[in-house]
Amino acid sequence: MISIYLDEEGDAVKVDFIELTNFRGIQKQRITFENKNFVALIGDNGSGKTTILEAITKGFVPILRTVNAEAMKECDLANNDIRNGANGAAVTLGITLDGEKYVWTNRRRLSSQQPFENAGDVKAENAKSLKELKSRYSQCVEERKLPLILYYGTDRII
């Protein structure tokens, strides 16, 4: 599980799983995070550690757009995130916040003329889940209780 703490009371967003479809070099992969307080991604260079972290970041964009849509353009799915030969990419996140489970998908197509392949349909409960989570996030913004999320990608200065 990956935890992002919202405030001093210990409320946390816990990433339960991430599912990638045609995201970079991954055709279809679901990663479930164990119910632990610490997760370490270990692997050789080029094995996909950064891809997973960047997918989580891009997965949260539909929620973070609630606050600043313009700033989120830099973090959102881009054409270069779409696996070679695919028409689109999708990142599905499942999280737990205060005991409530939420699931949503962030998608990008190369062209609006091309159908999405292998991404599944958006289910009604996922759309409702996203709407509820956006509402909760907006409330956090109003109360100035925003999470602190730190992630240093491979382009960091050492």
Task: Give the per-residue SS3 of 75-135.
Answer: CCCCHHHECCCCCEEEEEEEEEECCEEEEEEEEEECCCCCCCCCCCCCCHHHHHHHHHHHH
pTM over 0.85: no
Does residue 155 belong to any structural domain of this protein? no
Residue 119's pLDDT band (cuts 50, 70, 90): very low
Q: Between 53 and 74, name the one with better pLDDT.
A: 53
Q: Is the pLDDT of residue 118 over 50?
A: no
Give a yes or no: residue 151 inside a domain.
no
Domain, as residue range, for 24: 2-142
**97-115 mean pLDDT:** 79
Query: Domain containing 55 — which CATH number?
Result: 3.40.50.300
Residue 148 lies in a domain: no
Q: Does the residue 158 lie in any domain?
A: no
* Tally of structural domains, the chain: 1
